[in-house]
Amino acid sequence: MGKHVTILGWMHICLGIIDLLIGMAAFGVLSGVGILSGDVAAFGTMSLIGGFIGTLMLIMALPNLLVGLGLLRNWGGWVIVVAVILGLFNVMKIPFGTAIALYTFWIAWKLYDSPGVDSV
């Protein structure tokens, strides 16, 4: 089961990196559209919207990165609980987040169901 937990940790880290890349791309594209328009007000507005989306994606990426790191470093049983809670949010990130969430639920169910396994 430890191999599955390691794989899940890397999957959460990859999902967090994807979220960060989407946030940076949104900021870059929206700021670029504002620059190309040639209007100072449009540039400010588009940069503000891009900054908001980038910040939102950063906030969404941090829990995935922390859970992934916690699963890889075996920080304890609470990490799998946080991973399950995070999985409820990741279900909405179709298709990769959904797959990772279902894998998280399966691992948590196996860890809970198997006798003799204390924690992650």
- Each residue's pLDDT tens digit, 15-65: 999 999 999 999 999 888 888 988 889 889 998 999 999 899 999 899 999
Average pLDDT estimate for 85-97: 91
Whole-number Å distance between alpha carbons of 70 and 120: 10
Give the model's pLDDT for residue 49.
92
Give the model's pLDDT for residue 11.
96
Give the model's pLDDT for residue 86.
93
How many separate helices (H) and strands (E) can be counted in the chain? Answer: 4, 0
**Residue 39, by phi and psi: left (phi above 0), alpha (psi -120 to 50) or beta?**
beta
Are 101 and 90 in contact, with CB atoms under 8 Å apart? yes
Average pLDDT estimate for 65-69: 95
Mean pLDDT, rounded, of the chain:
89
- Quote the percentage of the chain above a pLDDT of 70: 94
End-to-end alpha-carbon separation of the chain, Å? 9
Question: What pTM did the predictor assign?
Answer: 0.84
Between 65 and 76, where is the model more confident?
A: 65
Residues with Cβ within 8 Å of 58's Cβ and at least 6 positions away in sequence, in order, are 19, 20, 23
Whole-number Å distance between alpha carbons of 75 and 86: 16
Sign (positive/negative) of CA torsion 74, 80, 86, 90?
positive
Give the model's pLDDT for residue 107.
92
Give the model's pLDDT for residue 117.
54
Q: What is the pLDDT of residues 99-118, one digit of tens each?
A: 999 999 999 998 887 766 55
Sign (positive/negative) of CA torsion 63, 64, 68, 71?
positive
